[in-house]
A and B are shown apart, each in its own frame.
Chain A
Amino acid sequence: MSRHVSTGKTRNKFLSSTATFILGAVAMAQTAQATEELNALVWCDHTDPALIEPFEREYDVKVNLKEYEGTGAGLSIIEQSRPGDWDVFVIDGVDVHRAVEMGVLAEIPADALPTSDIFPEVVMAENNVVDGKTYAVTEKFGYNTISFDKTKVDPKDMEDMSVIWSDKYAGRIAVYDYYLPVIGLVGLGLGIDTADLGADDMPAIKEKLFAMKKVSKQVGEVVSSQTALATGEVDILVGGGEWITAVLSEEKPNLDWIIPKQGGLRWAQSIGVMKDSEKPDLALKFVQYIMSPEGQARLATSSCYWGMPANAKAGENLTDAQKAALRWDDQDGYLKNSQLYPIPDADLDAEMQDAWVEMLQQ
Chain B
Amino acid sequence: MATASLETRENRRAWGFVTPALLWTVAFFVIPFIVMAAMSLATRKGREIVMAWNFDNYIEFFEKAHLLKGLFVSLEITFTVTIISVILAYPLAWIIAERVPQKWQRMALIMAILPFWTSYVVRSYSWLLVLAQNGVINNTLVYLGVISEPLELASTRSATVIGFVHFFVMLLTLTIYANLVQMPPNYRRAAADLGANGFQVFWHVVLPLTLPGIMVGAFLTFVLCIGDYITPQILGGNNELALPQVIMLQLGRRADFPMAATLSIILMVVVTLAYIACARWLKMERT
Is A171's beta carbon under 8 Å from chain B?
Answer: yes
Question: Would you list which residues of chain B between 113 and 160 have a CB under 8 Å from chain A?
Answer: 132-134, 152, 154-155
The answer to whether A357 and B241 have CB atoms under 8 Å apart is yes
Is B69's beta carbon under 8 Å from chain A?
Answer: yes
The answer to whether B133 and A232 have CB atoms under 8 Å apart is yes
Q: Which residues of A contact B47 (CB under 8 A)?
A: 75, 346
B252 is contacted by which of A69, A218, A233 (Cβ under 8 Å)? Answer: A69
Is B283's beta carbon under 8 Å from chain A?
Answer: no
Number of contacting residues on B, CB 8 A? 28
Q: Which residues of A contact B133 (CB under 8 A)?
A: 231-233
Is A358's beta carbon under 8 Å from chain B?
Answer: yes
- Looking at chain A, what size class is its interface with the partner chain? 20 to 34
| Nearest chain A residue, comparing its CB with the CB of B72 | A361
The answer to whether A232 and B255 have CB atoms under 8 Å apart is no
Q: Which residues of A contact B65 (CB under 8 A)?
A: 358, 361
The answer to whether B46 and A346 have CB atoms under 8 Å apart is yes
* Separation of A177 and B254 alpha carbons in the complex (Å): 14
The answer to whether A353 and B239 have CB atoms under 8 Å apart is no
The answer to whether B134 and A177 have CB atoms under 8 Å apart is no
Is B246's beta carbon under 8 Å from chain A?
Answer: yes
B238 is contacted by which of A72, A73, A346, A360 (Cβ under 8 Å)? Answer: A360
* Separation of A179 and B253 alpha carbons in the complex (Å): 10
Least CB distance, A360 to chain B, in whole angstroms = 5
The answer to whether B253 and A73 have CB atoms under 8 Å apart is yes
Is B249's beta carbon under 8 Å from chain A?
Answer: yes
* Separation of A224 and B69 alpha carbons in the complex (Å): 24
The answer to whether B253 and A360 have CB atoms under 8 Å apart is no
The answer to whether A217 and B155 have CB atoms under 8 Å apart is yes
* Interface mask (B159-178 → A, CB under 8 Å = 1, otherwise 0): 00000000000000000000
Least CB distance, A223 to chain B, in whole angstroms = 10
The answer to whether A361 and B154 have CB atoms under 8 Å apart is no
* Separation of A224 and B233 alpha carbons in the complex (Å): 10
Is B70's beta carbon under 8 Å from chain A?
Answer: yes
The answer to whether A219 and B237 have CB atoms under 8 Å apart is yes
The answer to whether B237 and A70 have CB atoms under 8 Å apart is no
Is A350's beta carbon under 8 Å from chain B?
Answer: yes
* Separation of A346 and B237 alpha carbons in the complex (Å): 28
Is A220's beta carbon under 8 Å from chain B?
Answer: yes
The answer to whether A75 and B241 have CB atoms under 8 Å apart is no
Least CB distance, B77 to chain A, in whole angstroms = 14
Q: Which residues of B contact A (CB under 8 A)?
A: 45-47, 64-67, 69-70, 73, 132-134, 152, 154-155, 234, 237-241, 246, 249, 252-255
Q: Give 15 A-B pairs besides A357-B67, A360-B238, A361-B241 with Cβ atoms closer than 8 angstroms.
A: A70-B252, A217-B237, A218-B155, A218-B237, A218-B238, A224-B237, A231-B132, A233-B154, A353-B254, A357-B246, A360-B66, A360-B239, A360-B241, A361-B65, A361-B70
**15 A/B residue pairs, CB under 8 Å, sorted by A:** A73-B255, A76-B255, A217-B237, A218-B237, A218-B239, A233-B133, A233-B134, A346-B46, A353-B249, A353-B253, A357-B66, A357-B249, A358-B65, A358-B66, A361-B65
